[in-house]
Amino acid sequence: MFHKEGHKIILIALVLCIVLSLVADYFVENSFIKGGIIISLIVLLVLILQFFRNPKRAFNTDDNHVLSPVDGKVVVIEEVFEKEYYNEKRIQVSVFMSPVNVHVTRYPVGGDVVYSKYHPGKFLVAWHPKSSEENERTTVVVKSEKFGDVLHRQIAGAMAKRIVNYAKEGQTVNQADDSGFIKFGSRVDVFLPLNAKIDVSLNQKVKGGITPLAST
- Least Cα distance to 60 among 102, 108, 2, 93 occurs for 108
SS3 70: coil
* More confident: 25 or 15: 15
Of the candidates 199, 192, 188, the residue with the CA atom closest to the CA atom of residue 92: 192
pLDDT tens digits along 88-131: 999 999 999 887 888 899 999 999 999 999 988 665 555 555 55
In the predicted model, what is the mean pLDDT of the chain? 89
Q: Give domain 65-215's CATH architecture.
A: Distorted Sandwich (2.70)
**Burial (Cβ within 10 Å: 0-12, 13-18, ≥19) of residue 171:** middle
* Percentage, residues of the chain above pLDDT 70: 90
Let me know how long the chain is. 216
SS (H, E, C) 17-42: HHHHHHHHHHHCCCHHHHHHHHHHHH
Which residues are annotated as catalytic? 186
One-letter identity of residue 41:
L
pLDDT digits (tens, 9 = 90+) for 123-181: 555 555 555 666 788 999 999 999 999 999 998 865 555 788 999 999 999 999 999 98
Cβ(158)–Cβ(124) below 8 Å = yes
